[in-house]
Structure 1
Amino acid sequence: MPSNSAPASVGRPASAEADLFAATGRLLAGGVKFTELNAQRIATEAGVARSSFYVHFRDKVDLLIRLATQLTVPNFDTASAWRPADGVDGLTETFVNIVATFREHAAVRRALSEAAAYDDTVREYWARELDQFSEFTDRLLRIEQDAGRTPADLDVPSATEIIVLGGERAIVEHVNTRPAATDAAFAAELARIWWHGVYRRAPEH
């Protein structure tokens, strides 16, 4: 082998994980169903040996869950940074960023839904991810309620369920069915609904 080819392999093991992530993302975005993927196909797409796949991942479910953190981690960081003091404009900006992340990783979110239908590990993983959003929202609403800024008659568990589960479902549906040009308007409407319907809802008389 020519000596000048050696640098090409330097660092390859360290980059294989990123290559496998990227390859999986490309395949999913290209329309391949998660059930159609296997270690060999992903490794071939990534340009690495099949054995390299198992160096980094137990199986394709392990890969999917770790890939999904590129969606869940930034979204939780973004959502948990918002405070009611930021107002509806701040909430709108928060949703603009969350919708953008969902759109970037739409294929991975679809794969999660597909896998969750038959795989307990994926289903439990996604339930835990939603739980952390629910816990944050519940805590925030109770703080606002105790301070008198959110009406005392608001049922916090019900509001939290609607906000988290309904909001996530609405974002997924929007990203999967409408063009990116509509994202800003969607984010603004979602923010107004949450702000005026929950956080600053007028008390009943």
Structure 2
Amino acid sequence: MPSITRRRAASPGRPTSAEADILAATRRLLTAGANFTELGVQQIATEAGVARSTFYAHFRDKVDLVMRLASDMVTTSFGVASAWTPADGLDGMASGFRDVLRIYREHAAVVRAINEVAGYDATVRDFWNDGLTQFVDRTTALLRAEQQAGRVATSVDLVSVARLIVIGGERAIVDHITLREPAADAAFAHELAQTWWYGVYRRPATP
């Protein structure tokens, strides 16, 4: 359950030393296999070498903490995804997906924690869904421009297909990094790119 303590969270931007120590300590504990729900604030504070009160000076509660942990990953992965344009083609898309897989693997413990907490906390669920919405909106805009240029079939329902490939693709990425080794990443990225490219961006026109 989220803490009932409601101190103001630190302002967005570069974290303070104590804040960075708490974030790093939480990542270490999660990477070592800790279950985020069962992880106590005191355990996190001890690992970070700070007082419990210091934790609450920087984070409202554990929900605030897990969202802050995920924010960098969301920003970084969106930046990678936004760098791709249809002019980069299938190979460029596959390269972008390899970079996204690398980011997800680097933050695998945080991804696991987000999915764990999102199962029972609406705030975290909404936070993660809002992050995915950035990708959906970006993809919809790209597809609309391609459709207007005659390169995407007019039969494509832009909003539906953008949600399908973005949300479905993200679930597939989480499943992949959870179950398969990094050696399989290049093949997975290529297959995912082909699914997007030939299934949507260059889908044959409906007869």
- Scaled by the length of structure 1, the TM-score of the pair is 0.91
Unpaired segments ≥5 residues, structure 1: 1-12
Matched, 1:163 2:177: no
Task: Describe the superposition over 1:10-41 as per-residue Cα deviations: whole angstroms up to 9, x where unpaired.
Answer: xxx93111111111111111111111112111
Deviation of 1:159 after TM superposition, in Å, equals 1.0
1:92: which partner in 2?
A: 94
1:5: which partner in 2?
A: none
Matched, 1:101 2:111: no
Amino acid at match of 2:17: S
Task: Describe the superposition over 1:98-155 as per-residue Cα deviations: whole angstroms up to 9, x where unpaired.
Answer: 0000011111111111111111110111111111111111111111101101111112
1:45: which partner in 2?
A: 47
Aligned residue for 1:158, secondary structure, equals helix
Sequence identity (%): 57
Distance (whole Å) between structure 2 residues aligned to residue 200 and residue 75 of structure 1:
24
1:4: which partner in 2?
A: none
2:4: which partner in 1?
A: none
Aligned residue for 1:34, secondary structure, equals coil
1:136: which partner in 2?
A: 138
Distance (whole Å) between structure 2 residues aligned to residue 68 and residue 180 of structure 1:
21
Aligned residue for 1:175, secondary structure, equals helix
Kindly report which structure 2 residues correspond to 1:1-205, keeping only aligned pairs within 5 A, or say none: 14-205=16-207
Distance (whole Å) between structure 2 residues aligned to residue 150 and residue 35 of structure 1:
44
Distance (whole Å) between structure 1 residues aligned to residue 195 and residue 126 of structure 2:
29
Moved over 3 A (4+): none
Unpaired segments ≥5 residues, structure 2: 1-14
Distance (whole Å) between structure 1 residues aligned to residue 118 and residue 128 of structure 2:
8
Aligned residue for 1:58, secondary structure, equals coil
Distance (whole Å) between structure 2 residues aligned to residue 172 and residue 33 of structure 1:
17
Q: Number of matched residues?
A: 193
- Tell me how large the CA RMSD over aligned residues is: 1.2
Deviation of 1:70 after TM superposition, in Å, equals 2.1
Aligned residue for 2:16, secondary structure, equals helix
Distance (whole Å) between structure 2 residues aligned to residue 141 and residue 201 of structure 1:
12
Structure holding more helix per residue: 1
Amino acid at match of 2:42: Q
Distance (whole Å) between structure 2 residues aligned to residue 127 and residue 179 of structure 1:
27
Aligned residue for 2:155, secondary structure, equals coil
